[in-house]
């Protein structure tokens, strides 16, 4: 939910995912910000060379 995506119309698949997860599942900019903060912290010092999906479970469908 950013200026770039806020005006997009949802397709049928997106509508079914929203129905399954509720309207509060739409990603917010801070959801990515929290991941960035974690990756920049000492707690993430052992993480390297991987892809971390930050998509609210979309890729798992």
Upper half-sphere CA count for residue 9 (Cβ side, 13 Å): 2
What pLDDT is stored for residue 28 in this prediction?
Answer: 83
Q: Report the run of H or E that residue 31 belongs to, with start and end.
A: helix 29-39
Distance CA 7, CA 1 (A): 9
> Looking at residue 10, what is its pLDDT?
61
What pLDDT, on the 0 to 100 scale, is given for residue 23? 47
pTM of the predicted protein model: 0.59
- The ranges assigned to domains in the chain are 12-60
d(CA 6, CA 1): 5
Can you give the pLDDT at residue 38? 96
Tens place of pLDDT per residue across the chain (61 aa): 666 666 666 665 566 565 555 545 567 889 999 999 999 999 999 999 999 998 877 777 6
Cα 18 from chain centroid (whole Å): 13
């Amino acid at each position: 939910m950013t200026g770039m995506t806020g005006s997009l119309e949802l397709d049928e698949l997106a509508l079914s995912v929203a129905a399954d997860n509720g309207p509060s599942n739409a990603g917010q900019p801070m959801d990515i910000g929290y991941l960035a903060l974690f990756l920049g912290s000492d707690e993430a010092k052992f993480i390297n060379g991987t892809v971390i999906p930050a998509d609210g479970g979309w890729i798992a469908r």
